[in-house]
Amino acid sequence: MKTFDTSKHKPCPICRKQPYKFLIGQWYIVQCDESGDPAHTVKVSGTNEEATDKLWEQIQ
């Protein structure tokens, strides 16, 4: 797995605190840098941009 480009981090869509990161595999796994808790992880498929868009659609 590779780590998503960290230069474009946004606040975590779950806790809205620390930036989140993408771990690239079959799914784009978004994990909060602060938590690291598996329960605090969101999986979204698609490209980097699509995954970000889908995530924010889910929580807005």
pLDDT of res. 12: 72
Q: pLDDT digit of tens for each residue in the chain (60 aa)?
A: 455 555 566 677 667 776 666 665 555 556 666 666 666 666 666 566 666 666 666 655
pLDDT of res. 5: 54
Bridge partner list, 3: 23
Rounded distance between C-alpha atoms, residue 57 and residue 5, angstroms: 21
Expressed as residue numbers, the domain containing 45 is: 2-59
Number of domains in the chain: 1
Reference 32, options 56, 47, 10; nearest CA is: 10
pLDDT of res. 1: 44
